[in-house]
């Protein structure tokens, strides 16, 4: 199954070849395309800033999609830490 999934997978995750980098990026799950951020215009000067920006995007996905609000207004976590780690591993950065 792994090789079949690899054939159908989209492009490799984007990582800037050099810094500073300026452009539009988003984070999207490789299997669940609905789990995605919008496009972010970024200017990044170092690999450390890149790591911080991708962590910020991951946290944005977790906050947005990781909580379910019931009709009575109660917020319920959709993913525990183990599930979130599985979701996080599937997140990829794309460049426009």
Q: What's the confidence (pLDDT) of residue 17?
A: 93
Q: How many residues does the chain have?
A: 96
Average pLDDT value for residue range 27-54: 94
| 3 state DSSP class of 65 | helix
The pLDDT tens digits of the residues spanning 48-85 come to 999 999 999 999 999 999 998 999 999 999 999 999 99
Tokens of 2: 């792994």
Tokens of 62: 């977790």
CA distances from 67 to 9, 48, 83 (A): 27, 29, 13
* C-alpha to C-alpha distance for 27 and 7, rounded to whole angstroms: 21
The pLDDT tens digits of the residues spanning 10-23 come to 668 899 999 999 99
The β-bridge relationship of strands 75-77 and 91-95 is unpaired
* C-alpha to C-alpha distance for 25 and 40, rounded to whole angstroms: 5
Distance of CA 63 to the CA centre of its chain: 12
- Residue 46 pLDDT more than 90? yes
């Amino acid at each position: 199954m792994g090789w079949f999934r690899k054939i159908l997978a989209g492009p490799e995750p984007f990582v800037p070849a050099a810094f500073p980098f300026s452009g539009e990026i988003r984070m999207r799950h490789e299997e669940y395309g609905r789990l995605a951020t919008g496009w972010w215009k970024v200017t990044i000067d170092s690999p450390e800033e890149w790591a911080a920006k991708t962590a910020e995007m991951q946290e944005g996905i977790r906050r947005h999609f990781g909580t379910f609000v019931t009709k009575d207004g109660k917020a319920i976590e959709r993913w525990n830490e183990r599930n979130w780690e599985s979701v996080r591993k599937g997140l990829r950065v794309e460049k426009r």
